[in-house]
A and B are shown apart, each in its own frame.
Chain A
Amino acid sequence: METMSPLERILRGIALTLVVIFFMFPIVWIFLMSFQTNETILRIPPSVIFTPTLDNYAALITGKLTTAAGTLDIAFMRNLGNSVFLSVASVALALVLGVPAAYAFARHKFRGSEDIAFTLLSFRFAPPLLVLLPLTQYFQWLGLSNTYFGLIWVYQLICLPLILWIVRGYFEDISADVEYAYRIAGHSWFSTFRKIALPLAGPGIAAAGLLAFIFAWNNFVFALVLASADKQPVTVGALAFVTASGIQYGQIAAAIVLSITPTLALALYAQRYLVEGLSLGAVKG
């Protein structure tokens, strides 16, 4: 490892450069596109020389979209707000429910524990449409259709199994000895959990939460089917620029950029937990 021939160094550098180009180029290109008008985007052949404009972002933020057929109202910022709210609330609920359960599975071998754990994980793998289609009926009867509450509940199908699985592995990998010692000293179960177990599992919980957040944020079909226009996330909202009187490519690009920004910010903030959290977490044998 420590010795690396110059040739290998160069080859590694080239490989890494290619990887970075492949994964970053689309994002950079869309970023550039978001500062262009439809006219410059539609040039043949494509070119990187253009006068940047902030019109696309201005249109998204003010909610006024100018098209061939006049001005349209768009609710993109509201979509963005919905995405933030739905993802944060769903992950928060999944953490509240999932972390204690993960702790239980990791620390207590009880009757049916593996079955329950497996059942919970298998929910992650039910085809979403299978559940979604009859669910519209049930939500109608329960009065949950078109409520944030109902949506957050359904989002648990995405978030909860993921958190449970990763955090469980993390708990299992940290020794129970410290907790045991603390309990012997006369502290209650709850304070042991809160003061010892939770802080130790911090990175794992953070990593699991971040992954769950990403998957919740990227969801498309749940809200589309279950909620009305004022509760739609950005993934649906970005389609609004495909209008009968033309496609607003610049605004689509700007919408994509804006929709990545919050998750990116979160990931940059939580990056030090991500690799560490996952490495000690459920993925380990």
Chain B
Amino acid sequence: MASVTQPGARTGGFRISKRVLPYVLSLPALLVCIGILIPFFTAVIYSFQRYRLSQPWARQFNWGENYLNFFTDPGFWNTLRISLVYAGVTVGLELLLGLGIALLLQRRTTVNNFISIMLLLPLMTAPALAALMWKLMTNPGFGILSYFASLVGLENFRWASSPDTALLTVVLVDIWVYTPFIMILLLAGLRSLPTQPFEAAALDGVPRTFVFFRITLPMLTPYILTATLFRLLDSIQQFDIIYAMTQGGPGDTLTVFQVEAYLNFFQSTNVGRSAALLIILWAITYILSNVFIKNWLRLRERARGEA
């Protein structure tokens, strides 16, 4: 346990008191990150300004007007809705799929180990490049997937270029890239579960579904939470895949937060609105991560108590 009393820390020739030591160890990491985080506060200030790069003379504080405008701006509500839908759908599907694959690969055989490493390949493909790959494969002329679609009778399947299927297509790419991330975390979890409860259940002839829902799933919960947390927070901030595939189109189908903010900054040079959008996104992720980490810590404590 962490609270063991320890003799005064001694490093080489000089002594660091044990009270100071942890700070000495952790502060460099904190400082490095905080240095980078100073711009965060600048962005907060921007978000309270009327600030367009193309109208520098009109720059002034408008205290919250950028935020108030969101209430009457259908574009904003669309952004909020599509971001949440995107995050929910991708993480949900990836979790199911990742869990399924992890269960298939649970046994430590050479074949399974080899497959699990191969399945990591998509994760190693940069999302920006993965989007490029899928664009090539879904091209209506020479794209192999469009060809397959036409073979099964979907002659005019338009993938990312139709508002009906654009979300489906980017979700597919997201699933392709990130399911391996969830899979590898859950596989690690499955393989580290203690064996006794399962052996006991097998001896008692407990049905497999019961074992899965009552033993495997609860014991796996911390892993699922961690995987979900990391993925959810990344997914709600998705940029690379959507920007590379459709730039937020067709229409306003995929204008998620970071895409909208990027276009606001780089094309419209409307810094105020861009910053306000990002602050709202930050608030959402902060609240989400808080909820998750609290739960995670509680689970961890409980696991420790039981051990």
Contacts and interface: CB of A to CB of B under 8 A. Distances in A.
Interface size class of B (residues with CB under 8 A): 35 or more
B177 to A, nearest CB: 9
B202 interface: yes
Interface string B1-28: 1111011011110001011011101101
A66 interface: no
Interface size class of A (residues with CB under 8 A): 35 or more
A280 B286 contact: no
A267 interface: yes
A166 B96 CA distance: 23
Contact of B136 (A30, A134, A157): A30
B176 A133 contact: no
A243 to B, nearest CB: 14
Interface stretch (A16-24, A54-62, A70-78): A16-24
Interface string B278-293: 1101100110010001
Nearest to A164: B29
Interface in A230-254: 234-235, 238, 249, 252-253
Given A101-B26, A135-B36, A189-B10, A282 B143 contact: no
A20 B119 contact: yes
Contacts, number: 289
Interface string A1-39: 100000000001001100110111011011001000000
B200 interface: no
Contact of B115 (A20, A122, A219): A20
Interface in B75-126: 100-101, 104-105, 107, 113, 115-126
A15 B29 contact: no
A15 B281 CA distance: 38
Contacts of B3: 109
B133 interface: yes
Nearest to B261: A129
Nearest to A275: B188
Nearest to A43: B142
A116 B101 CA distance: 36
B202 A275 contact: no
A280 to B, nearest CB: 6
29 contacts: A16-B115, A19-B101, A20-B118, A24-B119, A27-B121, A27-B122, A30-B136, A44-B142, A46-B144, A97-B28, A104-B22, A105-B26, A108-B18, A126-B282, A127-B278, A129-B239, A129-B265, A133-B39, A156-B32, A172-B2, A180-B4, A183-B6, A218-B128, A260-B125, A275-B116, A279-B192, A282-B226, A285-B300, A285-B302
- By Cβ-Cβ distance, the 5 closest A-B pairs, closest first, are A285-B222, A279-B188, A279-B192, A134-B39, A278-B188
Interface of A: 1, 12, 15-16, 19-20, 22-24, 26-27, 29-30, 33, 41-46, 97-98, 100-101, 103-110, 113-114, 116, 118-135, 137-138, 153-154, 156-157, 160-161, 164, 172, 176, 180, 183-184, 188-190, 214, 217-221, 234-235, 238, 249, 252-253, 255-256, 259-260, 263-264, 267-268, 271, 274-285
Interface of B: 1-4, 6-7, 9-12, 16, 18-19, 21-23, 25-26, 28-30, 32-33, 35-40, 42-43, 46, 100-101, 104-105, 107, 113, 115-130, 132-134, 136-137, 141-144, 147, 176, 179-180, 184-185, 187-189, 191-192, 198, 202, 221-223, 226-227, 233, 237, 239-240, 257-258, 261-262, 265, 271, 274-275, 278-279, 281-282, 285-286, 289, 293, 296-297, 299-300, 302-303
